[in-house]
Structure 1
Amino acid sequence: MVHSGEDVWKHFGFTGNPLDPRPLGISDLDRQLLVGRDAELRQFMVLSSNLEGAIVVEGNIGVGKTSFVNAAQHDLAEKGFLPSHQTIEVGETTDPSNLILSSLSNLVYSIEKAHGSNACMKDNSLKQGKQLVASTMQGGWGGQLTVLGFGGGLQRQQTVTAPHAPVLATMTQQLDAWMTAARQKYSYKSGITVVNNFDRLADQELVELLNRSRDLVLLRPNMLWVLIGKIGMFSTLETQARRVSEIVTGQPIVLSPLPLSKVHEAIGVRVKKSALSSKAEFPVERKFVDLLYQVSGGEIRFIFKRLTDIVYEVTSRFPSAETVPTELATRILKELAERRLATLPLTIGDQTILRKMVEAPFRIRDYAKFKIPSQQALSKRVRRLMKMELLQSERKSAKNVAYRTVADVNIAYGSS
């Protein structure tokens, strides 16, 4: 029985949650937890040999893109790269100023994490770079600029003021000088900046941001930019932002969902690393993992998150439980999905069309299937549902975009 104040995971024989759904960090321990991406890691190592420019990593939501990139950064750190322990999260208002300042901020954080809090005090250019970040965050310019970072499951957001063009040029010069000093002082080959969440931007927003960032941001010397987005991101750049696609190193690294066998292997590795004894087993049955894989399309983050949620739900209801029967886990899974959908502003029309959408992936040209009068009307409905994160898109070519419902919709509205 789990007593008041007792750690749930210790009750089941673990040091902590073995299936923590947050992205893996850049550490020796987390690197051991990545499973099934050997080929993609080799591709990343080859592309990074250029030392600068941009690498594109594509994959559907929840497939493990950030964890993969952090594992690659771990390997590159051993080869003399300065990794980025924090990830820039782009949004609709992100501009080149955000990217430059956030990059410098994250690199300062990384070098101090590696060499101590006084690492930037040992060289004038390093010191000036840190001072620029600090003074900018105090808000000395007019307008708004958001500096975003994400690392180890923690997010920070600081609002600062946006620079005029001459100041932006100074910022890029300062970033260049800072990276040159980091190479000379600490023998780094290159600095890495990771930019995530491009999948949250519409194609037009993506193209506009990267076109504006090409010369000011992506062509900085001694800087390797890793751009993370949905499948088809590079295809969009090739057709709508040719100048940007031409400076991307090689072809995109595309992360498909892991095979079910590799998901089970990943769970096994994590369970073994977190177990207090060799007898510890994850309390949810293996066949329930198979079910989660099916309804999510192999989305490993969703699988880990729902397994975690179910353990907490069962423990709170049945403190003496030692295992979680699949029948009980399935019932709770449906409750969680329905609970999430109940918080959203779904109309009767939304619910009706979602019940039809769960049947199979679809394209905008399939509007008649949903008894909708036009492609324009279906596009409007799709945009609404995607803002609520109930649909995912996958661009197979410039004019071929497929959509599918996410796991919670499949669970709540699916027929089986």
Structure 2
Amino acid sequence: MGVMWAEFGLAANPYATDPIPPSEEGDQLLAGRDAELEELLARVRAAGAHPTVEGDDGVGKTSLVSVVCHRLRSEVEQGASSPVFLPLLGEPVQPRAGHSVDLFVERVYLRVATTILGERETLRRRGLRVPDAAEVRDWLRSPIVRGWGAGVNTSPGDTVAGLLGTVDRWLHELFPGPRSGGFVCVADNLAALETAHGARTLLEAIGGPLLDRCGLRWVLCGARGGLRASARLPARLGAPLELGPLADEDVEAAVERRLRRYRTSDDATAPIGPSSFRTLYEVLGRDLREAFTYAEAFSIWLYSREKTAGTPGELDALFEAWLAGRADLHRRETELGNRAWQVFDQLAARRGRCSTGDFEDFGFHTRDAMRTHLAALETQNLVTTLDNHENDKRRRTIVLTPRGWLVRYARGDHRPPRLV
């Protein structure tokens, strides 16, 4: 794939959907999130309730938190922050379906010990009481601890408790009070678990072992409405920072930053420039991840036809034709009755989101009457249902799929939807 991007005069894929890395490069690539970035940093530093971030899949939660972690680490390394909030080394902690709460806790403690050893000199320079390196290494070499890293826990409870107690002691020595700072732990991708019974159990059960633990500062990320859906979630979690879609002008800036970063020459022409990417973003209901996915698909289409050179205007024209062709194909393949089409058009005009509780807004007398037409839309892969209200099916959110937005584009004479 690298050869393909080189043909366009780019060093890497500017439309990659991977989260922005926690680095200076990632900081420079993040666009349109200045207010959210400063607010999340303030929430972490406040040392009160643990921050939470909510938003739709692909909206950029992981990227935002990555840049927050980069900023926090830079402050610690430069000696500019007090108290110290230092992100754990490695990727965000990912809860795994089928794993027990105990194993999740043990994996977090393993990450803490690894960070204590890896950041030993940084912590020492900040004047903190750092545990003996040999003791930490011995702890990490324990066969029981190695099993945690492999997702295995078959050890006696008292043995495990002793190992965890050692890390608790280290944390207390490093961060003796609630205002002393701590390690920043990011629990990401909770959306994968939020519809399962075990996910609620996990979020509610980590209160004592992790959310109350001295020296640990948590940032939890989940789907919109997911972290708030359980009334039994610990009060230690703050009100979610809600992350909405990027503004249209910020999307152009985000793509321009990527193109500027990856251009290998001044005359390189991107397959999709900022203006066309904004159009794509609007057509797909302002889903940034899907817009990047389609931009990559168009780039591959150009490359496979040896159309890697041309003026921006020529490539824009090819993109418009390609997008219209894709949309028209999906429209021709969709079969619905008139009433289902009416529901579809109304849903698209409502930013592609509703629940069956909105049945009166769609002209129905009952939820069941509306469900019949929503089922027809779902059969055609025009909508999908988000299980963000596990215990109340009436409140589950119905959203347009990327295919649905493309069909809407075709039905709208190839004009981006006007969202209300």
TM-score range, shorter chain: 0.7 to 0.9
Q: Is the 8 A contact 1:52 1:224 kept in 2?
A: no
Using the TM superposition, name which of 98-107 and 354-363 deviates more: 354-363
1:83 matched to 2:87? The reply is: yes
Aligned position for 1:197: 189
Q: Is the 8 A contact 1:57 1:227 kept in 2?
A: yes
Give CA-to-partner distance per residue, 1:150-171, whole Å, 9 cap, x none.
Answer: xxxxxxxx44235565455345
Distance 2:400 2:323 in 1: 16
Q: Is the 8 A contact 2:59 2:287 kept in 1?
A: yes
Using the TM superposition, name which of 291-300 and 102-111 deviates more: 102-111
For structure 1, the residue ranges without an aligned partner over 5 or more in a row are 140-146, 148-157, 341-346
TM-score by length of 1: 0.73
The Cα of 1:101 is off from its aligned counterpart by: 2.6
Q: Is the 8 A contact 2:20 2:66 kept in 1?
A: yes
Aligned position for 1:329: 319
AA partner of residue 58 (structure 1)? E
Q: Which has the higher strand share?
A: 1
Which structure has the bigger radius of gyration? 2
TM-score by length of 2: 0.72
Kindly report which structure 2 residues correspond to 1:13-412, keeping only aligned pairs within 5 A, or say none. 13-51=9-47, 54-80=50-76, 81-84=85-88, 85-108=90-113, 110=115, 123-132=133-142, 135-138=144-147, 158-161=150-153, 165-166=157-158, 169-170=161-162, 172-180=164-172, 189-200=181-192, 201-202=194-195, 204-237=197-230, 240-242=231-233, 244=234, 246-249=235-238, 251-318=239-306, 321-322=309-310, 325-326=315-316, 328-329=318-319, 332=322, 356-357=343-344, 359-360=346-347, 361-366=353-358, 374=368, 390-392=384-386, 401-412=396-407
AA partner of residue 401 (structure 2)? V
The Cα of 1:328 is off from its aligned counterpart by: 4.0
Distance 2:156 2:49 in 1: 25
The Cα of 1:86 is off from its aligned counterpart by: 0.5
Q: Percent identity?
A: 19
AA partner of residue 211 (structure 1)? E
Q: Is the 8 A contact 1:53 1:224 kept in 2?
A: no
Aligned position for 2:3: 7
SS of 2:9's equivalent in the other structure is coil
The 1:365/1:179 distance shift into structure 2, 3 A limit, reads same
The Cα of 1:267 is off from its aligned counterpart by: 1.0
The 1:77/1:53 distance shift into structure 2, 3 A limit, reads farther
The Cα of 1:136 is off from its aligned counterpart by: 4.1
Alignment RMSD: 4.4
Q: Is the 8 A contact 1:123 1:181 kept in 2?
A: no
Distance 2:8 2:116 in 1: 38
Q: Is the 8 A contact 2:58 2:287 kept in 1?
A: yes
SS of 1:7's equivalent in the other structure is helix
Distance 2:110 2:325 in 1: 42
Give CA-to-partner distance per residue, 1:71-124, whole Å, 9 cap, x none.
Answer: 0011111233332330222343243223323323434555666579xx999524
